[in-house]
Amino acid sequence: MTTSSASATPPLPYTPGYPIRTERLDLRPVTDDDFAAIHAYQRLPEVCRYLYWGPLDEAGSRASVAAKAARTTLRDSGDVLQLAVVVRETGILIGDVTFVWRSREHRQGGIGYVFHPAHAGHGYATEASRALLKLGFEELRLHRIQAELDGRNTASARLLERLGMRREGHLRENEFLDGEWSDEVIYAMLAREWRDQQKEGRQRE
């Protein structure tokens, strides 16, 4: 018996139950009050080095925050969730994450993340990104989730490998960033790989 892509997805529109809670973090909608915390890392050249935007001035960050604040619900293919990542114990916003519903028909999604470097080394980005994979595979019942990154961004590649995503493609000089050609690398995970990973985790407990 096969299941159609329409019946495999939850009723639309779909809004996650906020906050999305992990062991240490809350993932919640962005608000205007988050401007200062988000601008603090969006203005940093080292944060934007491998991204398609920035560094942003105050006006740019205000526009970014307004756009993120509106992206809290999925209605159809191409829609995006952009959520603030907050350390529950301190209430400090340390970054934001993105979930893209790429295709309803083919049950495809994507993830992305940007974090303040001052909070690196604690596993927060990995923890928050794993929550997005869980949302995609367990709530939206997607078949495949991918992430793209600049080929020079080795730190991001290590993060995706920690999540259990596998490197699927390396596109040579696929993008023109900061005045030079750069490679794009694609990582992905399938639903069955996610289920196997969760099963292995339960067996170790």
Phi, psi for residue 60 in degrees, rounded to 5: -65, -40
Q: Cα separation of 129 and 191, whole Å? A: 15
* Structure confidence by residue, pLDDT tens digits, 168-192: 999 999 888 778 899 999 999 999 9
Task: Give phi and psi for 71, each to the nearest 5.
Answer: -105, 80
State the pairing for strand pair 108-115/80-87.
Answer: unpaired
Say what the pLDDT of residue 71 is: 98
In a domain, 65, yes or no: yes
Q: How many residues does the chain have?
A: 205
Average pLDDT, the chain: 93
Number of compact structural domains in the chain: 1
CATH number at residue 82: 3.40.630.30
Is 3 part of any domain?
no
Peptide bond into 55 cis (omega under 30): yes
Give per-residue pLDDT as tens, 112-142. Answer: 999 999 999 999 999 999 999 999 999 999 9
Q: Copy the structure tokens of residue 93.
A: 């916003």
Full-model pTM:
0.92
Please indicate, yes or no, if residue 158 is contained in any of the structural domains: yes
Which residue(s) pair with 103 in the sheet?
A: 108
